[in-house]
Amino acid sequence: MNGIQSICPQSVLSLEKQRVLVIGDCMLDAYLLGDSTRISPEAPVPVVRVECQRSVPGGAGNVARNIAALRGCVSLITIAGADREADILEEVLRGESIDAFLIRSNTRPTTLKTRVLARGQQMIRLDREVNDALSQQEEEALMRQVRESLPGNDVVILSDYGKGIVSASFMKKFTALLLKQNPVPKLLIDPKPVNAAYYSGAYIMTPNAKEAGECVGFPVRSSEEVKQAGKILLDRFSCPNMLITLGAEGMALFSEGGKSIQHLPTSARDVFDVTGAGDTVIAVLGLALASGMNLSQACLLANRAAGLVVAQVGAAVVSPEDLIRELERNFRPDSSVW
């Protein structure tokens, strides 16, 4: 690889209609928005007067949402409950132009995260979830849909939020299915350390610094620690490429089996909220690879997109127009070899 390359702003248009398949743990993110002007007489807690509410897809759903926002063609396969929340989730996914396949379970609820905000400030978050591994019947239903959806997708994203989809059994069957495709799709994995023993067959993995540290067993803060962790992870997962996201410090791309290490500083001018930034990174990376961009270009584009979403509050997405303007502002890459 010849380093991080420049990318033409208009190349963003090549992302349109590219196909990506997303598989993983999806959730419904519910927001109750209002104001708080008094303390409850029942307990020393604020009283929030709810004025409106909205629901958006989270987890793997947010990855798919980011792809759809850039006008890619995205299919999503996930597990949900046989409940009202699954109906809402399916509705909001289809409203985002996502081809959603929700495997309904009678034994587990749809993962629901409810955030209560007053004047833009989060007061509390309530989670309803079951993190147990899928039952045999649920896994079989999931694999049937994966088998049906895989053909025609050159890029597959596995978005693991540790809610039960990824297991040793799932990864064995999933990897075998991938290898039967011709050509074999590029597999991108957003990992969870709790499932680190199960991953295999990835083209690239995208842990953040905290996740990388949990996988290798030491804190990942300095550039030397990042380099050490990246090389360990490449070897541990037998993965040719690794992208460690570093928050305000940007990203570190390990390629060619660790022979090439590139640092991409963040392009964010302001950082208000890093929620969902990892979803944006893997979504843009996958879509760019599907469009034919090389890994260097795809990482550069993902870095720029992440810089835009962290300047917004909540799990945001980037439009093609936003990304083109960002690249036009300064499309010469700022990177260095580590």
pLDDT digits (tens, 9 = 90+) for 256-298: 878 899 999 887 666 555 667 899 999 999 999 999 999 999 9
Least confident window among 86-100, 118-132, 152-166, 250-264: 250-264
Annotation says 270 is catalytic: no
pLDDT at residue number 243 = 98
Residue 1, pLDDT > 50, answer: no
Instruction: Say if residue 201's pLDDT is above 60.
Output: yes
As a three-state string, the secondary structure of the chain is CCCCCCCCHHHHHHHCCCEEEEEECEEEEEEEEEEEEEECCCCCCEEEEEEEEEEEEEEHHHHHHHHHHCCCEEEEEEEEECCHHHHHHHHHHHHCCCEEEEEEECCCCCCEEEEEEECCEEEEEEEECCCCCCCHHHHHHHHHHHHHHCCCCCEEEEECCCCCCCCHHHHHHHHHHHHCCCCCCEEEEECCHHHHHHCCCCCEECCEHHHHHHHHCCCCCCHHHHHHHHHHHHHHHCCCEEEEECHHHCEEEEEHHHCEEEEECCCCCCCCCCCCHHHHHHHHHHHHHHCCCCHHHHHHHHHHHHHHHCCCCCCCCCCHHHHHHHHHHCCCCCCEEC
Mean pLDDT over all residues of the chain? Answer: 92
Confidence of residue 248 (pLDDT cuts 50, 70, 90): confident
> If pLDDT is split at 50, 70 and 90, which confidence band does 198 have?
very high
- Give the pLDDT confidence score for residue 256 in this predicted structure: 83
* pTM higher than 0.85: yes
On the question of pLDDT at 216 being above 60, the answer is: yes
Q: What percent of the chain is predicted at pLDDT more than 90?
A: 83
Residue range 214-236: mean pLDDT, rounded: 95
Q: In the prediction, which pLDDT does 315 show?
A: 67
- 83, 154, 279, 322: the catalytic one is 279
pLDDT band with cut points at 50, 70 and 90 for residue 2: very low
pLDDT in tens, 58-72: 999 999 999 999 999
